[in-house]
Amino acid sequence: MKRRNYTPNDNRNVIRMLAVSFAGSAKGRNRILFMTVVLSIITLTMVFGISRGKIRSEELSMIRENGTAASGVVESGIASQYAALKSLNYINQTGRCFTVGVAETAEKDSGAEGEKVTVCTIRWADPDAWKDLLCPAYTEIQGSYPEKESEIMLSEKALKVLGITNPQEGMEIPLHVSIGIFQSSEETFFLSGWFTDYSNEAAPGYISEEKLDAWGIHPDDEADLVFRQSDRLGWQETEELLYEDLPMKDQHQKITVTDTAGYQAVAGMTGGYGMAVLGAVITLCGVFFLCHNVLQISMAGDIRKLGLLNTIGATQRQLSKIYYSQIRRILVLGTAAGAALSAILLAGVIPAILNSQYFRETGGAEGVCLFHPVILLLSVLFTDGILLAASAGVIVRTVRMSCVESTGYTGTQGKKRSHKERKPVFTKRKRTSAGEMRYLAWRNISGHRKRFILTVLSLFLGLEAFLGAVVITAGSDYVHVVEQRPDFLIAGRFSTYGREQGYGEEYQTRDAGQDPMLTEGDYFDLLYDNDYDEFSPISSEVRKELMEIDGVDTDKSYIMEGAYLYTVISKKGIRPLDQVFLAEDAEDEMIEGWDQDVVQILKEDEIESLKKYVETNSLPVDMDSLENGTGVLILHDHALSAAQEKLVGESIGEPVYFKTMISREDRIRWNNMTAQEQTEQEEAGDFQMKQSEDFTLCGYLDNRREDFPQIRQTWHGSEGGLYFLISEKGFQRIPTEKKTLYMELNVDHEKEPSVKSSIQKIISEENQRRSRMTGTAFDEGTGEAGIFCISKSDLMTEAASEIQRNRLILGSISAVLLLAGFTNYFNVMVTGVLARKKELKIMESVGMTEKQKRTMIQAEGGYYCLFTVGLLLTVGMGILLMIRYYMEQKLSYFKFTWPISWILFLIAGLTMINVTTAWIMCKDEGENSSGKGTRFLMPF
């Protein structure tokens, strides 16, 4: 019966007429299929387009705020290392940079040289670094990168410092350049180009390689090797791989890696690439079933109709033409409508809602590109491919059957029952009319078990994708980032000198999720003009006043205590950091630091968390000595190279002790002496510092490790000095009073406004008092450094617009997934009724009423709904728990909540669709059978 090449009759007009009749008999199904194509394309384009657009926008914002797309650097790298770095398959972009020094300009008043003003740092970058890693961080790039010796390229910020508001190529730029530590030069450059940057600090000024040669600097011999690894690799994994694959020139050479901007953007939205891939697969599966189900449910009717055409002599080629012609019309119209609506939504409606202020601070809204032609094209190909493949299945099944088999095909499955009637053991209770309809509905479903299982699975995947999106969206809401912060954070400011350098105020332009106490300033900048033993960042009086404010929860508040001290440590103890702190030719066995270091007192719960962390990771740290007060621990901001980490174990047990700063009275007296008097007094020992008892070094810990416990710190950073942790018992062995370094106040939220007002009043009065104090510097009157406060309510207000934008973007993805899930259920219901049109008519002819028919259709939908909800409440809950575990591992601020209200909403939505669909379909059938209303179906 498989006539593949032979045509017994060639009546093309008849075939064409039958083809039109065949298409007309499936108008209802074809309309649903058309809407399915439209919705599938919109779903895929919006889900992937919005996700890509948000990730790309966040990535671009981070790159511009950081001032570079580079995520790592090999310090002082050589040519062989550069070649090796470029050959690594997990390194995407590489380049070389060399920072020469600082460029200043001299203000002149009446011909006399005035105070020099810092313009920028001077840097050279090779073409790869400039094109791939630096240009993405800048906008409005004018001119070109310097090639000649006298050319320079500056940022608009640097030009404004020079008083230039209308730059022109070739204009003269006179600068005083510090080359390294001991060399400087007066240079006259010519402007080759300029650009706009968005980082907190002014971008470097870029010079040519010819200028480096003129200064005797050879980047092939030594330059920083900057790079960007694959976005799928975290910083820790990348760093470990580089230390294995890249030969180090000595043990002091260090590799510093951070997560790429792309990695951070994906992590912020989905927790990581693993969850992103899983979400993409589930979304594709949901759309696959959305398209596939319509044709699969109506397959039996299509095969019977094609079988009739086959019986009258149509060949496989003619059958394919007939069937594909109607599918092709649907695909063309549906694709055009879906593509047009996707473009309108993603290129017009959503960006208009976001408005032009989105990411304006990082270079304008050009980064928010939600519509992408490639994504639209792939969505069209995926949707059309599914429908064409399903259509091919109908043709293949038809031609593989005999004419009799195809015209009688029902698609039912199940075991054949024995013809022998069996007497029931017990008398069955007679079913009611409604019960009979439910029984018929179950018989129909059980007769198509494969279709039922696939349909329930598809409904489950679609709705589970929605619930997963809701959980991830709600849990990773930016509001949780702000909620992690205490109600009020109070700490001491940097000195006036330090703040002039921009230190201690980095938190103002930093994300709320980052540690506000992280700084690039060192302790010299912090304590300048405040370096005396009595100084406390937060005085005892202010501390008492703050804790006594009505509404402050003292049990939930946190007070950090400690002191700033000079450290005396053995060579072996400081060896892991000797490139900074140890002179190799030092004769003394004990090394005394030049500047003050932090000694922070740990609370008991913090010591316990550190003990657990050390035991879990089997780290070489002596926690017993730390706990009993005989030892101290060094905490660092990822300051050790891999080779230096290996020296940590040898430093354990090495001696260390502390010296206090001199008194305030002695500091004022010291600062008012001449250099000769200071030398004489130092030799005479008139400014003796108090010395602590001896301690042992317990080891080093890196606070940047991903599983490092939550230990609060006062001002710290990679540029500062040593940061010691000590127990309460240990600090009692140091001859100085405890100082309050940092406070966190949590309050009764009903009293938060009044508490905030009281805190602001106390801080204002304290800062005024300190400003009136006599300073300790040569120019007396500068006063003590003040204190500042970060309020969570203020952070929430500042982040309100960003929170709203994120909710809008992520909420639109959830809305599309919800619509796709409900549409799938609607399609299943409607297509099922359309496929059984003749069967329902026969039942009507033997007495089935409209009410009974409606009950049966609702029962069928109810079974689909019941099994789908059952999967959601069992397997679905397990999947949500796995999502919770994954997200909590990836995002420290993730907050999981069970989507109970959304599950109830899904149940209500499915029930409403079920009841409404049954009512509409039965009403249509009734109108069609009576000849009233619009004919929804045309009988074959």
> What is the pLDDT confidence band of residue 16, given thresholds at 50, 70 and 90?
low
Q: 483 in a domain, yes or no?
A: no
Mean per-residue pLDDT, 873-880: 93
Indicate whether 426 belongs to any domain. no
Query: HEC string of 452-506?
Result: HHHHHHHHHHHHHHHHHHHHHHHHCCHHHHHHCCCCEEEEECCCHHHHHCCCCCH
Q: Are residues 459 and 570 in the same domain?
A: no
Q: Report pLDDT for 111.
A: 41
Question: Which domain, by its residues, includes 873?
Answer: 12-58+268-412+431-478+801-929
SS (H, E, C) 811-842: HHHHHHHHHHHHHHHHHHHHHHHHHCHHHHHH
What single string gives the DSSP state of each residue in 311-335? HTT--HHHHHHHHHHHHHHHHHHHH
Q: Tell me the pLDDT band of 828, cut-offs 50, 70 and 90.
A: confident
Burial (CB count within 10 angstroms: exposed 0-12, middle 13-18, buried 19+), residue 316: middle
Structure confidence at residue 368 (pLDDT) = 62
Asked whether residue 379 is domain-assigned, the answer is: yes
- Is residue 626 situated within a structural domain? yes
Q: Is 63 a domain residue?
A: no
pLDDT of residue 11: 53
Residues 827 and 688 in one domain: no
Residues 401 and 309 grouped into a single domain: yes
Beta bridge partners of 94: 227
The two structure tokens encoding residue 721: 């000095």
DSSP state of 701: E
Does residue 765 share a domain with residue 672?
yes
CB atoms within 10 A of CB 694: 12
The pLDDT tens digits of the residues spanning 503-552 come to 888 888 777 778 899 998 888 889 888 889 999 999 999 999 999 999 99
Residue 796 resides in a domain: no
With beta carbons less than 8 A apart as the criterion, state whether 659 and 684 touch. no
447-482: per-residue pLDDT in tens? 667 777 878 888 888 888 889 889 988 888 888 888
> 135 CB contacts (<8 Å, ≥6 apart)?
141
- The average confidence (pLDDT) of the chain is 82
Question: Which range has the top average pLDDT, 528-532, 727-731, 802-806, 931-935?
Answer: 727-731
Structural domains counted in the chain: 3
CB 288 within 8 A of CB 36: no
Q: Are residues 439 and 473 in the same domain?
A: yes
Residue 913 has pLDDT above 80, yes or no: yes
Residues pairing with 699 in the sheet: 633
Distance between CA atoms of 520 and 507, rounded to whole angstroms? Answer: 11
447 & 328 share domain: yes
Is the pLDDT assigned to residue 779 strictly greater than 60?
A: no
Q: Are residues 715 and 608 in the same domain?
A: yes
Distance CA(413)–CA(448), nearest Å, equals 6
Last residue of a domain, one of 217, 235, 258: 258
> Tens of pLDDT along 417-452?
444 445 554 445 566 666 777 777 777 777 667 777
Between residues 626 and 845, the one the model is more confident about: 626
Q: Answer yes or no: is pLDDT of 310 > 90.
A: no
739: helix, coil or strand? strand
Rounded CA gap, 908 and 901, in Å? Answer: 10
Q: Are 296 and 458 in contact (CB under 8 A)?
A: no
- Domain co-membership, 405 together with 512: no
Do 858 and 884 fall into the same domain?
yes
On whether both 253 and 274 belong to a single domain, the answer is no
> In 312-448, which residue ranges form alpha helices assigned H by DSSP?
316-344, 350-354, 373-400, 403-407, 433-446
Distance CA 393, CA 406 (A): 14
Residue (of 42, 23, 43) closest to 330 by Cα position: 23
Q: Among 474, 470, 461, 472, which residue's Cα sits nearest to residue 876?
A: 461
89-98, 293-302, 332-341: least confidently modelled range = 293-302
Q: Which pLDDT belongs to residue 930?
A: 47
The answer to whether 740 touches 545, Cβ cutoff 8 Å, is: no
Q: What is the pLDDT of residue 480?
A: 84
Written as one letter, the residue type at 913 is I
Which pLDDT does position 426 carry in this prediction?
Answer: 44
* CA-angle at 192, arms to 191 and 197, nearest 5°: 85
Band of residue 857 on the pLDDT scale cut at 50, 70, 90: confident
Q: What is the mean pLDDT of residues 41-52?
A: 89
CA distance 801 to 804: 5
Q: What is the pLDDT of residue 482?
A: 87
Residue 807 is assigned to a structural domain of this protein: yes
Residue 466 and residue 609 in one domain: no
- pLDDT, residue 292, reads 76
Co-location of 306 and 441 in the same domain: yes
Identify whether 6 is part of a domain.
Answer: no
H/E element, 55 = helix 27-66
Structure tokens given for 507: 């938190």
**Residue whose pair of structure tokens reads 């510097």 in the numeric block:** 777
pLDDT at 927 over 60: no
